[in-house]
Amino acid sequence: MSMKRIVGFFSHLLHPCDCGRTKKLLYEFVEGDLNSETSHRLEKHLGDCPSCLEYVKSYRRTIELTHCHCLPEKPMPDALKQKLHEFIEQNPDLK
Amino acid sequence: MQKAEAQIDDAQLVARLKQRDKSALADLIQVHGAKMYGVALQFMRNEYDAHEVMQDALISIWNKIGSFEGKSAFTSWIYRVTANAGLMALRKRKRHEKDVSLDATASGEDDEPLPALRLSDKSPLPDKVAMTDELGEQVRAAIDQLPEAYRTVVLLRDVQELPMEEVMEATGLSEPALKSRLHRARLALREALLPYLKGQDIQKL
């Protein structure tokens, strides 16, 4: 294992403040709401800290999964479809 | 006889709705009903209430079609209208139950533990093809277990991708309260889905 990877692996122990900062600023970072200086500092920390990098990645994946997998098309029951057609025909608000 | 889905295009549907052609609503159900139903069901969790939401959404689409300018895709617009109908139905239900949790600000939530979501199966990760189906089930199960106030903001923001301003308006939450609630909901989902997140490149799924 290279020295850089070893240092990176223990980064959260060497720089606990930046690890704490990552969690604290996670939402703003992912949403792109941070100013460039703070964002750059956080990115630098992510480059050194596999643990925080994985944390941020898993947060992003969660959002992506939520969007991609949440709403598959469900076949509408025929009875419901029939009721909706009757509703369209009969409802006085639909004129 | 109903028209084949392929023969009904959204531009025609919009034009016919704007001309007050009621048969366009029936065609709308035919073409987009399944997805609208999925949205309604996601909010209401049962067929009966989802049916009510579908009806409310149809009335909204009928009444608001004049304001649809085509800046977004028609499909996004109708799903958004359906989501709003779902949210309104939830708010109505909450008022009925004298529970204001949907409207409450998130102050104090930060100190509470994240809701623990339990998924049915955390067996070894399957291959990627099966993973797609299983992931979908697990994601939906996890969202379904979120407390309603959390579930609502996730559905509006992360599933429907409504702009923050619209979610704030729809939920009555302040911006800090919404951000806090959304963040905590995402953390709870992340926790529940962790076995499915590690080492998976979801872009390739």
What chain A residue is nearest to B180 in terms of C-alpha separation? A27
| B71 and B34 in a common domain | yes
SS3 of B194, please? helix
* Nearest Cβ partner for B186 among A59, A74, A80: A59
**Structural domain of residue B62, as residue ranges?**
7-96
Q: Specify if B175 maps to a domain.
A: yes
Distance from CA of A3 to the nearest CA of B (A): 23
Mark which of B63, B96, B129 sits at the end of a domain. Answer: B96
Residues whose CB falls within 8 Å of the CB of residue A53, separated by 6 or more in sequence, listed in order: A46, A47
Whole-angstrom CA distances from B200 to A62, A68, B21, B194 are 11, 14, 48, 10
CA distance B184 to B173: 15
A13 at interface of B, judged by CB pairs closer than 8 A: no
Whether the predicted model's global pTM rises above the 0.80 cut: no
Q: Specify if A95 maps to a domain.
A: no
Count of structural domains, chain A: 1
Q: Specify if A9 maps to a domain.
A: yes
Spell out the per-residue pLDDT of chain A, length 95, in tens: 565 565 555 555 545 567 888 889 999 999 999 999 999 999 999 999 999 999 999 999 999 989 887 666 678 889 999 999 999 999 888 87
Distance from CA of B32 to the nearest CA of A (A): 9
Q: Specify if B108 maps to a domain.
A: no
For residues B172 and B91, the answer to whether their CB atoms sit within 8 Å is no
Among A31, A64, A65, which would you mutate to test the B interface (most chain B Cβ atoms within 10 Å of its Cβ)? Answer: A65
A3 at interface of B, judged by CB pairs closer than 8 A: no
Q: How many CB atoms lie within 10 A of CB A43?
A: 13
Reply yes or no on whether the pLDDT at B180 is more than 90: yes
Q: Specify if A40 maps to a domain.
A: yes
CA distance B197 to B205: 12
Count of structural domains, chain B: 2
Q: Specify if B49 maps to a domain.
A: yes
* Nearest Cβ partner for B159 among A61, A67, A94: A67
- The first and second tokens of residue B42, run together, are 């996601």
CATH of the domain at B90: 1.10.1740.10
